[in-house]
Structure formats: C-alpha cells, structure tokens
Amino acid sequence: MAEQPRRSAAYRIAFVYSAAFALAILLLGIAVYFAADAEFRRARDRAISDEVTALLHEAAGGSLIAEVRERETAKATDSFGYALFDPQGRRIAGSLDTVRPEPGFGMIVFRDPEEGRDTARAKTVELPDGNRLVVAIDSETVEDINATILMLFGAAFLVVLVIGVAGALVLGSYLRRRLGAISSTARGIVGGNLDQRVPVGTHRDEFDEVALALNTMLDRIAGLMDNLRQVSSDVAHDLRTPLLRLRNQLEQVGTVEGAAAKAVEQGDELLKLFSAILRITEVEGGGLAHGFAPVDLSALAEDVGESFLPAVIDSGRSLSTRSVPGVSVLGDRELLAQALANLLDNAIVHTPPGTQITLTLETSDGQARLIVADDGPGVSPADRTRLTQRFFRSEASRTTPGNGLGLSLVAAVAAAHGGDIAIGSEPGGLRVTLTLPRVTRNS
C-alpha cells in the first residue's frame, strides 16, 4: 500500500496533471506578453509617425516653432514630447530636454523636470532646412501594460498551481479512498473473512462497476467454496449410512440366504449415488458452456414425454405432454434430458397411482419454461424450499426409492444454462418450473 504521496499513482497522476496545466498557463502568459509587447511597440511607433506627419502638415506654410509651442501648451495629445534642433545641435523649440539624436526611430534619454533622467521612444526627422524634429513618447505606458500582463499571468500561474496542488491532494485522497476500499476487502478475504464485500457507492461510476464485478466474482467463489464444503459434509454424513448398510449386509453373507445378492444391489445403489454426486459436481463446477450447442427443446420435450409415457401408464398414472414448436436453447441435450427425466422420475415415485402428470413447454419474452406438474399430494411449504438441497428427503418420502439428489441436479443444470428452477404447488400437487433463456433467431 502506498502510504507516501510519492508512491501513490493517484497523487502522481493528479500532480502531473496540475503541473501540466500550470505549465500551459505559463507558456500562454509568455506568448501573450511578447505578442502584446510587440503590438504595443508597433502601435506606439505608428502614433509617433502620425504625430510627426500631423505636426509637419499643420506647420506647413507657418512656423514649426510656433506649432510646437502651441502643442506643448495645449497638452491635449498623449503626452508627446517635442524638440527642434538646428543644424548646430541647439534646441530651438520644444521642452524635450535631450541631445540631438540621429534621424529615424530610437530610444532616447531625456531629463524630466520632475522625475529626472528618463527614457522615451522617439522619431527624429531631418527637415529640408537642416533642422531636426524629434517627437517622443514616454516608454512608461508600454512598460506599465507589460507589467500588468506579467502580473496577471504570474498570479494566474500561482493560483493554478495552488488550486492544482489542492485539487491533486483531494483527487489523490479520493482515488486512494475508493481503491483502498477494494484492496482492504481483498486483504480481508485473503485473511480468511470470505463474507467481506467491496462497498458499492450510489454513483454507479467506474469504481462502483468494478466493485459490483468484484462482488459478483466473490459471490461465485463463495458459492464454489460452499459447494466444496457441502460435498465434504455429504461424504461425511450421507454416504456413511449406505456404506454401513452394505457392511452389515456383507456380514450376513453365508448365514442369511440372499444376503450376497442384496449386498451387490446395495453396492450398485452406492455407485449410482456417487455417479449422481459427480454429475452434480461436474455441472456445478461450470466450464460446460463452451460445449453448448443449440438444442431443440420442443423436440426434446416431446421425445422425453414419449419415452416416459409407457412407463407412466404401467405405473397406473397418466402423462400428457404439451409442447410449442420451434423453441431452442443453448445447452447440452443430454443434461437437459436428464433434468427432465429426473422431474418425471420424481412425479412418478412421489405420487399415488391415478395421479395426472403434465409436461409442458411454454415460452414468454426470451425464455423457455419446462413445467412438470402433478395433481398428487404435493409437498408442505416448509419442505418445498428444501427440495433442491442435496440428500434432502421429506418425511413422507423416506421409504420411496431415491437418493435425494434428483432436484439438486435439476437446479444445477438450470444454473449451468443460465436459468433457474421454481417449485410451486398451484393448482395443487407439485409444480416444478425449469426456466431457460431462449436462443433467438438472430443470435
């Protein structure tokens, strides 16, 4: 478990993400700064050029000196500074206190009456009479704006960094908390507490989906563990009894007539019991699905019904089969046949002669239902819920043949096919419904 933020993937991801975001802000700031600076300088130079043009235009035909003076006293314009130098370099007009610069654009140093030495951007024009006109503008404006831009982006960078780090910490701890719940559950299970489940939130987000998937997996594992425990306890309790009976029978061989034949019979029963347990274990163990193929359930129901009919009649009961055509499921024909056979076996063995047994195949919204019902005495509600338990035999059926595994196999077969079984009593007697998902034509 990553206790330090350094070793936590959650923190690392959040930090890297916010650092990348801050870096993007920084790059944007630098780009804006340089682009704005260049644009301001161009605009400033254009303003100076315009002022020079306007000044010369207005002074044309008059005195340039007077025009400069007029402009300086009006101070209406954007704090331009003016200076007019004669060919000898003496300032003959304007208050811009500087030395005569060379023609063209350039930075000049001047003396501000209030602030002392200062720099300004200036355009110097050589006039036809040999004088030079200098129009300058203080560079403070551009620097102020640049400083503002720098400050804004610097602040944004810091804010992003602070929010990013805070967000990273919150996000990191959130991720650690969600993932921590999963890993602590896993550790609990490794530690032996198989009942633990990953807490599922209410958002139905990715974590909840993972938690649900894990819980489903854990349920399946727990089911398999139960299965294993069940088999062990079956072996311990329910298989000892017939073995003891066989042993006692063998002791009588030689003294009681027919004991040997009876012992062989009991041995056969015991072997049948083992086959039944192994079959159930095989079906419950899963892994059969890859061998599944479409099975024509309609034909199977007809087939099994027809196969059982003479035996049912011989036993003094009646059997009617009602099937709808064209119903298919994905499965194992043999297992489905065995499940159906077990249901019919039960209906014959556990009812009195004269009982009417029905085998019905019906369908509804994507499901096929095989129903074996009888109008016999039925099973008490309390016993009904226990019918699918292994080796369960109700008090009323203690003396009838069977091993109490028939319905367990039916339930296992249903589960292996993605279906289930329901045991009811309507309209009287017993009614076992085996529900299976249908194969639709386009799947």
Using CB under 8 A, list all residues that contact another protein: 271-272, 275, 278-279, 282, 288, 291, 303, 306-308, 310-314, 332-335, 337-338, 341-342, 344-345, 348-349, 401-402, 406
- Cβ proximity to another protein: between 144 and 306 the closer is 306
Smallest distance, Å, CB 341 to another protein?
Answer: 4
What is each CA distance from 227 to 49, 184, 423, in whole angstroms?
95, 26, 21
CA dihedral of 261, 267, 268, 270, whole degrees rounded to 10: 150
- Cβ proximity to another protein: between 203 and 290 the closer is 290
3-state SS, one letter per residue, for 124-179: EEECCCCCEEEEEEECHHHHHHHHHHHHHHHHHHHHHHHHHHHHHHHHHHHHHHHH
Smallest distance, Å, CB 256 to another protein?
Answer: 20
- Cβ proximity to another protein: between 89 and 325 the closer is 325
Smallest distance, Å, CB 188 to another protein?
Answer: 35
Smallest distance, Å, CB 346 to another protein?
Answer: 9
- Cβ proximity to another protein: between 52 and 335 the closer is 335
Smallest distance, Å, CB 336 to another protein?
Answer: 11
Smallest distance, Å, CB 436 to another protein?
Answer: 18
- Cβ proximity to another protein: between 22 and 347 the closer is 347
- Cβ proximity to another protein: between 314 and 395 the closer is 314
Smallest distance, Å, CB 24 to another protein?
Answer: 60
- Cβ proximity to another protein: between 12 and 333 the closer is 333
